[in-house]
Structure 1
Amino acid sequence: MKWTEVQEIAIQLADARPEVDPTRVNFVDLMNWVMALPEFDDDPKRCGERILEGIQQAWIDELA
């Protein structure tokens, strides 16, 4: 899984961290949690604030 797979990342985060409110996640934690996902395999340097915002929003939408 790559940084651009925002929807899939959001689904996996929702499954892996059901106790977390994605509206309250800081980007440092979010980035670390994404990189810790078992299927994730991408360069951390390819991640930026815009990608993390997209992941966060997709995660929020996933729980709606």
Structure 2
Amino acid sequence: MGLKWTDSLDIAIELYEKFPEQDPTRINFMDLRSKVIELDEFDDDPNRSGERILEAIQAAWIEEAE
């Protein structure tokens, strides 16, 4: 079973592992959306993301990076 937009913590962990050089506090939502879609495990409609979902993913990624 792949990752869905609502799996913010799991997505954040995958982002942290795949993009260790990326500072999650300095990413805009367009780039964040692109990186999520690039994940091998991502299996959801790319057009279903919204600002609230991206904020949740970014916050979880920041938490993971600390």
Normalised TM-score (structure 2)? 0.94
Structure 1 residue 44 displacement after superposition: 1.5
Question: Is 1:11 aligned to residue 13 of structure 2?
Answer: yes
Q: Kindly report the root-mean-square deviation, in angstroms, between the aligned alpha carbons of the 2 structures.
A: 0.5
**Aligned pair partner of 1:23 in 22, 25, 36:** 25
Which blocks of at least 5 consecutive residues in structure 2 are unaligned?
none
Task: Supply the AA of the counterpart residue of 2:43.
Answer: D
Structure 1 residue 21 displacement after superposition: 0.5
Match of 2:35 in 1: 33
Match of 1:46 in 2: 48
How far apart in 1 are the matches of 2:40 and 2:65?
21
Aligned length: 64
Stretches (4+) displaced over 2 A: none
SS in 2 for 1:15: helix
Task: Supply the AA of the counterpart residue of 2:12.
Answer: A
Q: 1:4-45 deviations in whole A, cap 9, x for unaligned?
A: 000000000000000010000011110000001001010022
Identity of aligned residues (%): 59
Normalised TM-score (structure 1)? 0.97
Which blocks of at least 5 consecutive residues in structure 1 are unaligned?
none
